[in-house]
């Protein structure tokens, strides 16, 4: 992959060499439109994010009164300090990181193992296996039977219960397989065969190095999936020390939105509301930071022409 960095996108290359071809008028208009549209869209997206960030460092009653529009009002870090009062939030964060990393690694390995053979032309039984995968996207046994299986495997209330049942998403297998079909030409496979490469060797030495973008995407999607998931924790865990952040977040955002008529205690309702108002935004920010930090590492692999370039090189 040494050529990757050299392999600039065509447009950049043209700039670099001072290529004689000029953008046409319509090109210029198109480019201007793209920049403007993207810019506006980014602004539209940025607003709520800035709002959430501002709200997390603002005085809670000012937020509740709707005084925060863009920038913080009554700056305070209380909401972040409050987070550290709750051990379960701190351990939850740590657990989430663990589940995301471990879950993504295990799941990505399984996905690649499934996707590559299924991308190969003429593998006998491929259609059947593919159908077996796709069928499970439509039909599932449902909550209770799955729980019984996890129970019988002895996974209940262990970290494995968070990782193994979510260790493969058929959706990812299909996408990855499609990617392989597009990027690993049959000539390459044939060429590998001629060179005496076994399937294992070919997969390991040729396919994987060529598939960094899709590996990165898989890692990201699985990690994000684990990061955002709460349901498995809810069902399989009964130990607070194993709970991920989302369970806590959900408790604060959704479960404390109690129907006021159901509360026998107005003071408790108010307290819950205060807690919710205080922690809501800071928890969202905390929950957003790791995925945002990770993204640039994924993005790094989205280099145009990386694949073919290295093939030739």
Task: Identify residues 207-236 at the interface with another protein (CB under 8 A).
Answer: 213-214, 216-217, 220-221, 224, 228, 230, 233-235
Among 14, 72, 80, 159, binds another protein (CB under 8 A): 14
Pattern 143-182, binding to another protein, x per CB under 8 A? Answer: xxxxxxx-x-x--x-------xx-xx--x-xxx--xx-xx
Chain residues 110-149 in contact with another protein, contact rule CB under 8 A: 110-111, 113-114, 116-118, 120-127, 129-149
CB of 53 to another protein, least distance (A): 10
Specify the residue, 98 or 258, whose C-beta has the smaller distance to another protein.
258
Among 3, 5, 23, 313, which residue sits at the site for another protein (rule: CB under 8 A)? 23
Which of 18/138 has CB closer to another protein?
138
Binding flag, residue 68, another protein (CB under 8 A): no
Give least dist CB 274 to another protein, A: 6
Site size toward another protein, by CB under 8 A: 166
- Interface residue with another protein, options 17, 194, 196, 259 (CB under 8 A): 259
Q: Helix, strand, or coil here: 74?
A: coil
In SS3 terms, 208-244 reads as: HHHCHHHHHHHHHHHHHHHHHCCHHHHHHCCCHHHCC
Pick from 254, 248, 313, 228: which is nearest to 82 by CA? Answer: 248
- Name the residue with tokens 């004689």: 20
Site mask for another protein (CB under 8 A), range 273-312, x = bound: xxx--x-xx--x--xx--xx--xx-xx-xxxxxxxxx---
5 forms part of the interface with another protein (CB under 8 A):
no
Burial group, residue 249, by CB count within 10 angstroms (0-12, 13-18, 19+): buried
Instruction: In whole angstroms, give the CA distance from residue 283 to residue 242.
Output: 18
φ, ψ for residue 203 (rounded to 5)? -60, -45
Cα distance from N-terminal residue to C-terminal residue, the chain? 8
Q: Tokens 């863009």 map to which residue?
A: 70
256's CB contacts (< 8 A; 6+ apart) are 272, 273, 275, 276
Q: Which of 16, 18, 70, 187 binds another protein (CB under 8 A)?
A: 187
């Amino acid at each position: 992959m040494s050529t990757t960095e050299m392999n600039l996108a065509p447009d950049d290359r043209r700039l670099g060499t001072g290529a004689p071809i000029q953008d046409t008028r319509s090109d210029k208009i198109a480019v201007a439109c793209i920049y403007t549209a993207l810019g506006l869209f980014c602004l539209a997206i940025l607003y709520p994010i800035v709002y959430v960030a501002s709200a997390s460092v603002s005085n809670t009653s000012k937020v509740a009164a709707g005084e925060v529009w863009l920038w913080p009002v009554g700056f305070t870090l209380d909401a972040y300090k409050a987070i550290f009062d709750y051990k379960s939030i701190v351990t939850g964060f740590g657990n989430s990181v663990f589940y995301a990393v471990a879950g993504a690694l295990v799941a990505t390995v399984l996905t690649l193992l499934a996707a590559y053979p299924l991308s190969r032309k003429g593998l006998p039984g491929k259609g059947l296996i593919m159908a077996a995968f796709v069928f499970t996207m439509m039909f599932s046994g449902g909550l209770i039977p799955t729980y019984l299986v996890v129970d019988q495997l002895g996974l209940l209330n262990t970290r494995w219960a968070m990782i193994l049942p979510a260790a493969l998403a058929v959706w990812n297998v299909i996408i990855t397989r499609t990617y392989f079909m597009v990027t690993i030409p049959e000539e390459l496979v044939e060429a590998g065969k001629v060179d005496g490469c076994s399937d294992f060797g070919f997969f390991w030495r040729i396919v994987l190095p060529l598939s960094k973008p899709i590996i990165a995407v898989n890692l990201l999607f699985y990690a994000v999936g684990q990061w955002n998931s709460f349901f498995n924790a809810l069902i399989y865990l009964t130990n607070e020390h194993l709970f991920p952040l989302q369970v806590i977040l959900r408790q604060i955002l959704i479960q404390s939105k109690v129907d006021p008529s159901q509360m026998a205690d107005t003071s408790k309702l108010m307290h819950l509301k205060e807690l919710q108002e205080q922690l809501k935004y800071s928890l969202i920010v905390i929950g957003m930071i790791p995925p945002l930090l990770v993204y640039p590492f994924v993005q790094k692999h989205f280099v145009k022409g990386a694949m073919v370039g290295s093939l030739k090189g």
